[in-house]
């Protein structure tokens, strides 16, 4: 069992931490790791057997990882005061951090490809987050976008009645969740009548009108997390655990069915994680998970300490797991039954723990600790 050293107890202020936030972050980073690095057999086209369908069903759970991170961020930031100058410094530091890590990934992984890059090509790969190298850093760029709008959202949030906040949320919802929901309905209807499909979540039902980019749904999750945490704190959410669990698995099953529909109709694997972030199904799953974790009892100090360590290190794990996964995944794929659900669940856990150990080591080094912290 990893123990908290005095420096972490003082630095992270564990006594004042909200443990269900840490538990949610721990789950989210685990789902990120198992999504990025797994050997699950989810190919329901070539292997349409029961085990593969089960894998594909549980695969969709990872769609809540990114939403949960934004919900916890919103809960932490919108429900307390802030200093604009300090906030802008944080945004700038985060942008620098993305640039530094994109450069690190590029220097290490591009040579492994065995392809020669000109200086211009290297700079393009570094700046635009090359696929297969540093594209997973899109999450941090989306976070930067939310942080840039945070001062305005905070003003809306703090006004009694929150009329402007509600209007803002409605607009964001329509152009993200609403747009995708229309795509879901159209594709489902066309499946029934045997016609062609959009097969593209980027289709815009509101061309030339949509004021937001691809990741506008993150703003909605950011605000929803803050509102839910506020209501949880004031005991205004009276939903039973049974209802939460039922809602979660009903939404997951709907996401699974839509994924099967899209995979079969297009004859191409439909990624219910990447394509599910701003689906109504994932929104229900994420909100249910957030409230569910708030209802758990966090009475065990050792468990809470572990949650605190992971919760305070999720950014570092996110940045480091790219290396740990790249090194270990070839060996994992060589194992018997490595395409089954159980072994992948265990591998995901080991990936998180391995990355965590590296992050804790980096945090003890004066210069390197800054590249795994905000």
Q: What is the pLDDT of residues 205-237, one digit of tens each?
A: 887 787 877 889 999 999 999 999 999 999 999
What is the pLDDT confidence band of residue 159, given thresholds at 50, 70 and 90? very high
Tell me what the mean pLDDT of segment 280-303 comes to.
96
Per-residue b or e along 112-142, where b marks 16 or more CB atoms closer than 10 Å to that residue's CB: eeeeebeeeebeebbeebbeebbebbebbeb
What is the pLDDT confidence band of residue 7, given thresholds at 50, 70 and 90? very low
pLDDT of residue 185: 87
Tell me what the mean pLDDT of segment 86-114 comes to.
93
What is the pLDDT confidence band of residue 197, given thresholds at 50, 70 and 90? low
What's the whole-number average pLDDT of the chain? 91
Q: Which residues contact 21 (CB under 8 A, 6 or more apart)?
A: 72, 75, 76, 311
d(CA 314, CA 78): 20
pLDDT of residue 207: 77
CA neighbor of 165 nearest in space, from 245, 93, 224? 224
Q: Are 35 and 273 in contact (CB under 8 A)?
A: yes
Query: Is the pLDDT score of 363 beyond 50?
Result: yes
Q: How many helices (H) and strands (E) does the chain have?
A: 15, 0
If phi > 0 it is left, if psi is from -120 to 50 it is alpha, else beta; for residue 293 that is: alpha
């Amino acid at each position: 069992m990893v123990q908290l050293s005095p420096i972490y107890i003082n630095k992270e202020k564990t006594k004042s931490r909200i443990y269900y936030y840490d538990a949610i972050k721990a789950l989210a980073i685990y789902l990120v790791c198992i999504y990025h690095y797994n050997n699950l057999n989810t190919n329901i086209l070539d292997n349409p057997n029961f085990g593969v369908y089960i894998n594909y069903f549980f695969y969709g759970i990872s769609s809540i990882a990114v939403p949960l991170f934004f919900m916890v961020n919103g809960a932490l930031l919108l429900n307390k005061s802030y200093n604009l100058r300090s906030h802008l410094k944080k945004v700038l530091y985060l942008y620098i951090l993305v640039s530094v890590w994109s450069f690190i990934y590029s220097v290490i992984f591009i040579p492994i490809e065995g392809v020669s890059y000109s200086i211009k090509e290297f700079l393009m790969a570094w700046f635009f987050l090359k696929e297969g190298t540093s594209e997973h850093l899109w999450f941090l760029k989306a976070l930067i976008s939310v942080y840039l709008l945070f001062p305005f959202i905070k003003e809306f949030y703090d006004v009694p009645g929150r009329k402007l906040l509600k209007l803002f949320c409605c607009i964001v919802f329509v152009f993200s969740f609403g747009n995708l929901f229309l795509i879901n309905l159209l594709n489902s209807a066309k499946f029934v009548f045997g016609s062609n499909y959009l097969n593209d979540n980027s289709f815009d039902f509101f061309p030339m009108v949509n004021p937001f980019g691809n990741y506008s749904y993150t703003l909605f999750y950011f605000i929803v997390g803050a509102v839910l945490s506020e209501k949880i704190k004031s005991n205004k959410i009276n939903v039973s655990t049974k209802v939460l669990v039922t809602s979660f698995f009903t939404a997951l099953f709907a996401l699974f069915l839509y994924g099967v529909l899209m995979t079969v109709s297009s004859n191409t694997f439909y990624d219910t994680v990447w394509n599910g972030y701003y689906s109504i199904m994932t929104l229900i799953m994420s909100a249910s998970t957030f409230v569910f974790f708030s209802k758990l009892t966090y009475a065990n100090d050792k468990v809470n300490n572990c949650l605190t360590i992971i919760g305070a290190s999720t950014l570092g794990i996110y940045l480091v797991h790219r290396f740990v996964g790249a090194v270990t995944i070839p060996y994992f794929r060589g194992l018997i039954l490595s395409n089954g659900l159980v072994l992948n669940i265990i591998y995901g856990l080991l990936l998180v723990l391995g990355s965590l150990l590296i992050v804790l080591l980096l945090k003890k080094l004066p210069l390197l600790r800054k590249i795994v912290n905000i």
